[in-house]
A and B are shown apart, each in its own frame.
Chain A
Amino acid sequence: MASLASVEAVTARGLRKQYGEQVALDGVDLTVRRGTVHGLLGPNGAGKTTLLRVLLGLVRPDAGSVEVAGTVGGFVETPGAYPYLTGRQNLAHLAALDDEPGDVEEVLQRVGLADRADTRVRGWSLGMRQRLGIAAGLIRRPDVLVLDEPANGLDPVGALALRSLVHELAHDGLTVLLCSHDLHEVDALADDVTVLVAGRVVWGGTTTELRGRPGASLLSTSDDALAQRLAGELDVQPHQSGSLLVRATTAELDGYVLELARHGVAVRELVREGLPLEQAFLELAT
């Protein structure tokens, strides 16, 4: 891996990785802007974790290149820990392997583990281990922090605290690469999103752009036949529920509803299917 002097924190080009017959990454390109939270989305088996492992230097790609501006830290899947050591000892051990590590006490405070740091990890909950995993990434004082399903095992309070922490880290200039199945979490945290499906990038851009993609809505009107004729270029089809299925961006939908009103067609119900981000993701991933 080489260093970058530009605004990109991570640049991957043409990454390919195959395990036997299974292609995990199939020519993946990824650009992560410095100081942003970058969401990595995709269904199970899409290659997200393999991509993170490649970025962390844990897996060698068969082809392609990765450039990271500075150091990279973090964890993939469930973070590991030595059960026979305390939380503080776990962090001190990892800190001893870095050239310019962060302060163990400060990092423990930051992830909310200072009170339990002197107990052995053996009895810790999954949520506490997740926070220790984040701490293990932070103790390296990385320029890029990789988090794979960081809210896994956290209760709602813990998940909120995590979001707040990620916001703080991004505000401090750290680049965060966040892989999550929780679209609410990605929606709340990410500036940019890359969607992987079957080892390929099917979409990349800002979350605003992703939300702007045409989504599906169910529409009930006073005159569905007229509403269909007024659709023009929009994709409006009868749906099995008896409503109309409209595929449109938010802006297009606004225009369509106003057009219906101008022609005296009353909108009785308009239901968007899930979060805008969720809608867009499902459309890309399925």
Chain B
Amino acid sequence: MRTLPWELRKLVAQSRVRAAFVVCLLAPAAVALVLSVQSGLPKDTLFGRHVLTSGFALPLVLLSFCALWVFPLLAGLVAGEVFAGEDAHGTWPALLTRGRTRGEVFTGKLVAACLVPVALLATAALSSLAAGVALAGREPLVSLSGSTLGPGRAAVLVLVSWATAVPPLLGFCALAVLLSVVSRSTVVGVAGPALLGLLMQLLSLLGSLGTSSNALLTTPFLAWRGLVREDAYYGPLWQGALVSLGWAIACLVPARLVLLRRDVS
């Protein structure tokens, strides 16, 4: 894992990754500010009607939004660049003529490509919670089953709900790594996961896949809904974790093989 520290440093040194951290940190506060001055509420979104009555509603509203758009983009932004960036900068020869094997380089890059998006998600989760509390205080939250959740339990459920997005986020990171390694293009690596995420959302909306839609990588992002209720159910959570693991393996095995066998030219 000697490659990991520098892979992390390289990522953090890039302006777009820094910008992503700033957005994850400040965007929830900006949303809270808009909600505090506007007259209407986002009633069509889960917990949208409660954003001004409980500070724990806003982070769940933002989680719904992020699951649709932001998480696949974050995965692409970081993991889609980690490998193809070496092609773009012509640095593979320098990197692969060191004392480390290609397998070690792959592992270090993969871990970095997963850690940074998870850190971005954690930043967004905490700043969303802080923004929600600043907007509406630590009032109890009305759960999806109609029961009232006290501030302590609501805060824990909010953070656990955000944590349930980690497995599919890592699945998207693996998808971004595969696209990045195979295409050797940062454009494909960065934009590919977001576009495929949108396509999966579209397939889910059309409903033509039936129960097969559970195998889509976007479906596990909805698993948190089973938690924020009095009679919590965990089936979608475990199913989502397995689906995410399946996607990760299906993407990473060929990605690793391609990197190990490719001619660097």
Which residue from B2, B91, B263 sits with its C-beta under 8 Å from A80? B91
B214 within 8 A of A: no
Q: How far is the CA of A73 from the CA of B95 in the complex (A)?
A: 11
Q: Are B92 and A58 in contact (CB under 8 A)?
A: yes
Q: How far is the CA of A82 from the CA of B2 in the complex (A)?
A: 18
Q: What residues on B are CB-neighbors of A98 within 8 Å? A: 98-99
Interface residues on B, range: 20 to 34
For chain B, residues 157 to 173, give those with C-beta under 8 angstroms from any C-beta of chain A: none
Chain B proximity of A82: nearest CB distance (Å): 6
Q: Are A56 and B89 in contact (CB under 8 A)?
A: no
B246 within 8 A of A: no
For chain B, residues 59 to 105, give those with C-beta under 8 angstroms from any C-beta of chain A: 86, 89-100
Q: Are A58 and B264 in contact (CB under 8 A)?
A: yes
A72 within 8 A of B: yes
Which residue from B13, B14, B86, B263 sits with its C-beta under 8 Å from A60? B263
B212 within 8 A of A: no
Q: How far is the CA of A70 from the CA of B263 in the complex (A)?
A: 22
Q: How far is the CA of A80 from the CA of B5 in the complex (A)?
A: 20
Q: Are B95 and A85 in contact (CB under 8 A)?
A: no
Closest to A73 in B: B97
Q: Are B264 and A59 in contact (CB under 8 A)?
A: yes
Q: What residues on A are CB-neighbors of B86 within 8 Å? A: 80
Q: Are B263 and A79 in contact (CB under 8 A)?
A: no
Which residue from B9, B13, B93 sits with its C-beta under 8 Å from A75? B93
Residues of A with Cβ closer than 8 Å to B?
Answer: 53, 56-60, 72-85, 89, 93-94, 96-99, 133, 136, 140
14 A-B pairs besides A59-B265, A76-B93 with CB distance below 8 A are A57-B97, A58-B97, A79-B94, A80-B89, A80-B90, A80-B93, A82-B89, A82-B91, A84-B13, A93-B6, A94-B95, A94-B98, A96-B5, A140-B97
